[in-house]
Amino acid sequence: MTAVERHNYDVVVVGAGGAGLRAAIEARGQGLRTAVICKSLFGKAHTVMAEGGIAASMGNSNPHDNWQTHFRDTLRGGKFLNQWRMAELHAQEAPERVWELETWGALFDRTKDGRIAQRNFGGHEYARLAHVGDRTGLELIRTLQQRIVALQQEDFADAGDFEARLRVFQECTVTRVLKDGERVAGVFGYERESGRFFVIEAPAVVLATGGIGKSFKVTSNSWEYTGDGHALALLAGAPLINMEFVQFHPTGMVWPPSVKGILVTEGVRGDGGVLRNSDGKRFMFDYVPEVFKDKYATSEEEADGWYADPDTHRRPPELLPRDEVARAINSEVKAGRGSPHGGVFLDIASRLPAQEIQRRLPSMHHQFRELADVDITAEPMEVGPTCHYVMGGVDVDPDTAAAGGVPGLFAAGEVAGGMHGSNRLGGNSLSDLLVFGRRAGLHAARYAQALTASQRPAVADAQVDAAAAEALRPFSAEPAEGTDGAAPAAVGAAGGAAGGAAGGAAGGAAGGAGGAVAPPENPYTLHQELQQTMNDLVGIIRKEQEMEEALTRLADLRTRSRRAGVEGHRQFNPGWHLAIDLRNMLLVSECVARAALERTESRGGHTRDDHPQMDRRWRGVNLVCELASPPDQLAAQDPAAGQITLRRRDMPPIRADLLDLFEKDELRKYLTDEELGQ
C-alpha cells in the first residue's frame, strides 16, 4: 500500500479560479468543511487574465436591458446550440452575482450617478459588461480570494484556526478522482513543492479546472490549461459534450514570437477600436453573416454613430461575435492583405485621445509598450486569432451542475459544457463562473449534507496504489517493445515513498518497432508536437483529411508519451509535471478531433472548410464523448479505436416561452421546420 497523507473534507473543489473560489465560498457558507486545490499559488489562476468585463444585465448603462435580452444575445452568440436552461439561469442570476461582489469589497468602474459602469462588447445588444479598466479578471479573483480570507478570519475568531472549515491547498495537482463504486469518494494528487502524494476523502468533488488551450500552439492560455478537469471527468466515467467547439479569440498579439497568442482585450473594439487590413480598409463590413445582416451597420458612418447613439444606429461589425471576427481575420490574412507579421491591424490610436486610451485600456497600453515596443496611443496593434476558450466540457445538469452518471461529481466554469453552445460571447465567461460556481458549490454541499456518516463513501487502498503508480511512471519510463526486463530508460531517482514498484508494473504495449531500445521521450518535445498538431490540423479552419491525420498523430503521441521520461527527483520538477499533464492533453485533444470530424457543418467555434454552411439539422445535436479505453490499454494506441467513443444525442427542445423571445423569422434561420412546427 502506498503511504500517502490523507485528509477528510465534505467538499473538495479542484481549481481556484473564479468558478472554484465561488463554489468554495458557497460550500463553506452552507457550513461544510471545504478544501480548494490549485495548481498555482492562491490568487494566480487564469481568471486574472480576463480583461474586458462581466456580462450582467443590470441596466445601469442602458435601462432597456434585462435578462431576456441577455439570454437572447447568448443564444445568438452560441448559434442556438446552448443548453438553454443554463443560458436562462445565467442571464437571470448574473446581476445578483456581480452586486454580491461589491459587498465583498470589489471596486468596479462607476457611472456618473455612482452605479457600476457597463461597457460594450461583441454580440451584446447593450453596454453590459461590469469592468475595472481592462483588468476585470484580477478584480474578480482578488475579491473572491479576499472573501475566502474573510471567511477564514471568521473561523479563526470562532475556532482559533484559520483553516477550520476552508483550506486552500496551493500548488497541488489532482491526477485522479477516486470512487467508491459509482460514487465519488475523493481525489488523489501530488504537491508540486515536495512531490509527495496526498488523498482527500470527500463525498463531493467540484471540478473547476478551466480549459484546454495548452494543447494548441498559439493560445492565450497559461500552462495550467491542460484540460485536467475534462480528463478527470472522463476517467471517472462522466461524459463531455460539445468538444468540437473551440473559441479562437480574434485578437491575440502576433509579434514578437515569444508573446504570440497573448490576449488583446475585446474591450479595445468595444471602446471604438477598428480592424483594418494592409490596404487600410475596415474589412469587417464584408463579413457580416446572413443571420446577423439586419443587426449590424453597413457603413462606417452608421457604425461610428452607434457609440454615441445606439438606439438609432446599428452596431459596428467589429463587434460581431468572436467566431465571426476570427474567421474574417483569417480570411484577410490568407488573401494576402495581412500585416507584416501575419495578422491584421487593430487601430484605437486614431479613434480616441491618447489620455482616454491610457485610462480605459491601461494593461493593453502597458503590455504593448513593454513586450512589443508599440505605443497603442500612436500606432495600430498587429493582432490575429489565438486559441482562447473551449465551449465543450463536462455534461452537467443545468440547475445543479452535477456531472452525468457519477454521483458526487460537479463541474462549473470553463470545464463545464453546454452554457455557451457553439461560441461564447465575451463577458459571459466571468458571469458563468459566478453563477454556476455558486450553484455547483451549493449543490455539492447539499449532496454531501444529505449523506449520513455510514453512507459516506470510502477510498479503497487499491485505487490509491494505482493512482500513485500512474503518477510515478515518468520516472521509470517504459522501454520500447522487445526490451522486456531492460533497465528503465530514464534516470529513476524517484525518491520518496513507493518509488520503484510502480512504473515497471504498468503493463501494456508500447508501439516501438521490434528490437531496438527506444530512448525515453522528452515530455517537452511531445508537448510541442501535440500543440503543432492541434494548431495545424484541428485549428480554426478544419478539413476531414487533416483531422484524420491528426487522429493518427495523436495515436502516435499517445504511444510515445508512455515513454516520456524525466530526470531528477520529485521536488518541484516541471518535467515530471508536464509528463503527467500530457495524459490529459492527449485525452481532450482526441475529443476535440473526433467530435470535429463528426460534425459536418460549420457553426460557432467549429468551421469546416469542406462543410462551410450551418446546417439546421445539426442544431439540436450534441456530440457526447466518453472514455472507451483507459490510457494504458492496447486500443488506446490505435488511431481508429483510440480512447474515446463518440455518440450523438438530441438536445431537449427549447422551452416555448423562451422561443417566444425571438421573432419567427430569426428562428427560421436556426431551427428546422419540424422544430418550428412543435
Partner 1 sequence: MSYTGHFRVWRGDAEGGELKDFEVEVNEGEVVLDVIHRLQATQAHDLAVRWNCKAGKCGSCSAEVNGRPRLMCMTRMSVFAEDETVTVTPMRAFPVLRDLVTDVSFNYAKAREIPSFVPPPGLAPGEYRMAQQDVGRSQEFRKCIECFLCQDTCHVVRDHEENKPDFAGPRFLMRIAELDMHPLDAAAETGLDRARTAQDVHGLGYCNITKCCTEVCPEQIHITDNALIPMKERTADRKYDPLVWLGDRIFRRDK
Q: Assign 3-state DSSP to the chain and report helix, strand, coil percentages, each to 5.
A: 40, 15, 45
Rounding to the nearest 10 degrees, give the CA dihedral for residues 444, 447, 448, 452. 180
**Quick check: 114 binds partner 1 (CB under 8 A)?**
yes
Q: Does 191 bind partner 1 (CB under 8 A)?
A: no
- 367 near partner 1 (CB under 8 A): yes
Question: What mask, x for binding partner 1 by CB under 8 A, covers residues 495 to 534?
Answer: ---------------------------xxxx--x------
* CB contact burial 147-156 (16+ within 10 A = b; e otherwise): bbeebbeebe
Residue 471 DSSP SS3: helix
Taking the complex as a whole, the smallest distance from the CB of residue 424 to partner 1 amounts, in Å, to: 20
Is there a catalytic annotation at residue 76? no
Q: Which is nearer to partner 1, 368 or 662 (CB)?
A: 368
**Among 147, 192, 249, 527, which one carries the catalytic annotation?**
249
Cα gap 49→140, rounded to integer Å: 10
User: How far is Cα 513 from Cα 671, in angstroms, rounded to an integer?
Assistant: 52
Touching partner 1, residues 274-333 (CB under 8 A): none
- DSSP conformational letter for 183: E
Q: For residues 381-440, which are near partner 1 according to CB under 8 A?
A: none
> Per CB under 8 A, does 569 bind partner 1?
yes
Least CB distance from residue 568 to partner 1, whole Å? 3
Q: Single out the residue of 31, 340, 342, 574 in contact with partner 1 (rule: CB under 8 A).
A: 574
- Cα–Cα distance for residue pair 178/459, rounded to 1 Å: 7
Show the binding pattern over residues 92-111: x = contacts partner 1 (CB under 8 A), - = does not. ---xx--xx-xxxx-xxxx-
* Site membership for partner 1, residue 258 (CB under 8 A): yes
Closer to partner 1 by CB, 176 or 570: give it: 570
Q: How many residues line the site for partner 1 (CB under 8 A)?
A: 73
C-beta of 13: minimal distance to partner 1 in Å?
Answer: 18
Amino acid at 96: E
The residues near 112 (Cβ < 8 Å, ≥ 6 apart) are none
The one catalytic residue among 269, 424, 577, 608? 269
> Whose Cβ is closer to partner 1: residue 294's or residue 370's?
370
> Which of 71, 248, 576, 618 forms a contact with partner 1 (CB under 8 A)?
576
CB 80 to partner 1: min, Å: 31
Which residue matches cell numbers 508540486?
192
Please indicate whether residue 249 is annotated as part of the active site.
yes
Shortest separation between residue 274's beta carbon and partner 1, angstroms: 23
Nearest to 626 by CA among 638, 644, 641, 642: 644
5 binds partner 1 (CB under 8 A): no
Interaction of residue 8 with partner 1, rule CB under 8 A: no
Q: Which stretch binds partner 1 (CB under 8 A): 23-31, 256-264, 378-386, 656-664?
A: 256-264
Interface with partner 1 in residues 40-69 (CB under 8 A): 40-44, 46, 48-49, 58
Using the 8-state DSSP alphabet, how is residue 321 labeled?
-
Distance, CA of 367 to CA of 380 (rounded, Å):
14
Stretch 346-365: interaction string toward partner 1, x if CB under 8 A:
-----------------x--
In the bound state with partner 1, the residue whose beta carbon lies nearer, of 16 and 671, is 16
Q: Could you give the string, one character per residue 128-147, with x where binding to partner 1 holds by CB under 8 A and - elsewhere?
A: ----xx-x-xxx--x---xx
Q: How far is the CB of 142 from partner 1 (least distance, A)?
A: 6
- Rule CB under 8 A: say whether 634 interacts with partner 1: no
According to CB under 8 A, which residues from 144 to 173 bind partner 1?
146-147, 149-150, 152-153, 156, 162, 170
| 413, 433 Cβ separation under 8 angstroms | yes
Q: CA separation (Å) from 560 to 138, 460, 469, 508, 567?
A: 39, 31, 18, 13, 17
Closest C-alpha among 591, 584, 586, 569 to residue 646:
591
SS (H, E, C) 65-117: CCHHHHHHHHHHHCCCCCCHHHHHHHHHHHHHHHHHHHHCCCCCCECCCCCEC
Q: For 424, which DSSP code?
A: P
Residues 565 and 477: beta-carbon distance below 8 Å: yes
The residues annotated as belonging to the active site are: 249, 269
